[in-house]
Structure 1
């Protein structure tokens, strides 16, 4: 049922507006609180770190609860966060308010994906996942750049007002249009935790972590990088975020179809961007047109990273899809946190211009994980074939 997938997509727009809307206003927040840009990056890394550390446990605990109730609870906290943050509280309280919704974020996403997939056609599984996770790309092209633009015209607090409005709309939609979804059969914790003993799943988790870290070591400082290295104004940066998101929508749609043919090749193809983009940004120099082209390609290659990561990890544990998807979210957010922290450290010690090269290092390591898993699976397949041949 695509209706459930589209409602999940709307909820994800609210979530992503909250999680990544901070990226476009990070320089303004740093100026307001009189702190360095890498310290302001805590607002992003702390959010991601909470998800990484608590996501799997929260999902296990909530695995027997009605999915509609979980989604309503999660979106209510996102709404509260937006309202309080818009009041410009002390920095420590702003960090706390950023961390609170992170506890239920992975539960919300895994519940939305599981509900969409289980109420739909098996053949459309990746497309339904793509619709839900398409909320990431849609937020990148609508609410995130719009919030950044309004912040450049008025104040950074306006961005949080936009986040609150989007969360309120999502909350109303879930309450009024989503059917009650009690969990018919709760899987045992042991059955779900068993996937952590599988080498192919562990390699998939490492690939996810490294891939997201590769993208976010630079993307977390997108506004600061374009402002200081490419000499763009805040309003121009908001337009660049819009361009980044527009190409991402097309990429998400394309990746959803490509995953149905080959999950490893799709993940690897988009991952190559972590190697291409740093070099392209360097050679674009201060040429505005060339930089725009690179940003468009950057958005295209970045956008499906969460979809690719989820599909890649679930393919290694189809029997525990919901838990595997939550781990994908957790490892991905651990990557967001690690990428933001490492990128911030590089910026503090070597300058903002060097940040993209950090992503290249993470990207190469991630591609290596794909190669190792493919080799492992090929070896296992050969063993099965040899065993079958001996019994003929």
Structure 2
């Protein structure tokens, strides 16, 4: 499989991009969905919030259930479910049907992402695994960040149905490529579900879970309100705001590749440094928030790149704590990420309503202090630990 690593990674990245675009792409077209289906925007928001809730719930369980099956068949099954859900979304005129067309695929979302991360690692030489995983994480970032403007542009230029068709086409492309270009991949070893879940008995796993939830909370508590922060405090709005957010997304893609190199060179140092460096970027944005040029540099260059590194750090920190159960560990990573987003968004909203938009950064800094403590605790108790993912 190492021989075909580049082709495999490319196909997996297309599939990951399609699935993440399906999940996040509707954010930009919620008003269009609300008008089309005769619901409020907040009701249309269920398409996002319920999807994320299902992913958080199924993250640790579904990858374990599928770990005994042929991996190629598992990927085809999940992609097929997403294609069917997308097709229903294109043609339905009932909001409840649309909601179910998204909720059902959400249960299988962690299966594909977990498989993609596991295969990226196992199909590479051990020293190159972080770089291969970083390429998958870049597809995750692309789906989360670029999927929104792409879907929004298509919906505004053509129609909602064409925007939904975009999701279906990407997933279908991944399905066809997987069917014809990826060989059969039987499960490497029949690790029982009980054996995989038993890694939760290890204190190192719980320290890693705590760190990852806190890191993602630190990111989400600020990033969820980034547009509001820039428009209200930095007076960046309209097309300029759209451009800044777009460049932020592009910078984050580069951050994924940088993360792979950092983790491959010195994983422990990279993880310990992350909360400190992000804290510096947050502090700079807080201090320079009223100055256009400096805040754009702080947000786009530093913040955008660092944001993407956080996803890679999170995946690596959990996967390295339970290398004997990779599917379960990657499922935990997805669950922790979604829990962190939920917690961080709520706390950021608390600071916003209580102190003002500028102070969402304070909430982020508090989470970073706690995440650094969790990382240092793991390093203290497991000094001789060999980091492998």
Q: Give 1:24 deviation, angstroms.
A: 4.3
Q: Give 1:19 deviation, angstroms.
A: 2.6
Other-structure match for 2:192: 188
Other-structure match for 2:137: 133
Deviations along 1:55-94, whole A, 9 cap, x unmatched? 2111121111111222122223333444455669666655
Root-mean-square deviation (CA, aligned residues, Å) is 3.2
- Work out the CA distance in 2 between the residues paired with 1:5 and 1:82: 24
Other-structure match for 1:309: 314
Other-structure match for 2:330: 325
Change (3 A) 1:229 1:73: farther
What TM-score results when the alignment is normalised by the length of structure 2?
0.84
Answering whether residue 348 of structure 2 is matched by residue 355 of structure 1, we say no
Is the CA contact (8 Å cut-off) linking 2:59 and 2:110 kept in structure 1? yes
Equivalent positions of 1:87-166 (< 5 A) are 94-139=98-143, 142-150=146-154, 159-166=163-170
- Work out the CA distance in 2 between the residues paired with 1:8 and 1:28: 31
Change (3 A) 1:88 1:316: same
- Work out the CA distance in 1 between the residues paired with 2:370 and 2:318: 17
Q: Give 1:50 deviation, angstroms.
A: 1.5
Other-structure match for 2:254: 250
Equivalent positions of 1:225-374 (< 5 A) are 225-227=229-231, 229-233=233-237, 235-285=239-289, 287-296=291-300, 297-347=302-352, 352-374=357-379
> Which segment drifts farther, 359-368 or 116-125?
116-125
- Work out the CA distance in 1 between the residues paired with 2:176 and 2:134: 23
- Work out the CA distance in 2 between the residues paired with 1:218 and 1:141: 15
Q: Give 1:133 deviation, angstroms.
A: 2.0
- Work out the CA distance in 1 between the residues paired with 2:81 and 2:225: 26
- Work out the CA distance in 2 between the residues paired with 1:345 and 1:90: 35
Gaps of 5+ in 2: none
Alignment length (residue pairs) = 378
Q: Secondary structure at the match of 2:185?
A: coil
What TM-score results when the alignment is normalised by the length of structure 1?
0.83
Is the CA contact (8 Å cut-off) linking 2:65 and 2:193 kept in structure 1? no
Is the CA contact (8 Å cut-off) linking 2:72 and 2:184 kept in structure 1? yes
Is the CA contact (8 Å cut-off) linking 1:23 and 1:222 kept in structure 2? no
Is the CA contact (8 Å cut-off) linking 1:46 and 1:337 kept in structure 2? no
- Work out the CA distance in 2 between the residues paired with 1:45 and 1:256: 30
Q: Give 1:313 deviation, angstroms.
A: 1.3
> Which segment drifts farther, 138-147 or 302-311?
138-147
Deviations along 1:160-205, whole A, 9 cap, x unmatched? 4433332232222222322221214211223212210111111001
Other-structure match for 2:217: 213
Q: Give 1:373 deviation, angstroms.
A: 0.5
- Work out the CA distance in 2 between the residues paired with 1:106 and 1:261: 28
Other-structure match for 1:169: 173
Q: Secondary structure at the match of 1:136?
A: helix
Is the CA contact (8 Å cut-off) linking 2:61 and 2:331 kept in structure 1? no
- Work out the CA distance in 1 between the residues paired with 2:235 and 2:91: 30
Is the CA contact (8 Å cut-off) linking 2:61 and 2:328 kept in structure 1? no
Change (3 A) 1:92 1:59: same
- Work out the CA distance in 2 between the residues paired with 1:234 and 1:286: 17
Change (3 A) 1:272 1:44: farther
- Work out the CA distance in 2 between the residues paired with 1:150 and 1:268: 41
Is the CA contact (8 Å cut-off) linking 2:222 and 2:348 kept in structure 1? yes
Answering whether residue 65 of structure 2 is matched by residue 61 of structure 1, we say yes
Is the CA contact (8 Å cut-off) linking 1:20 and 1:144 kept in structure 2? yes
The equivalent position to 2:201 in structure 1, one of 189, 197, 202, is: 197
- Work out the CA distance in 2 between the residues paired with 1:203 and 1:15: 29
- Work out the CA distance in 2 between the residues paired with 1:226 and 1:158: 31
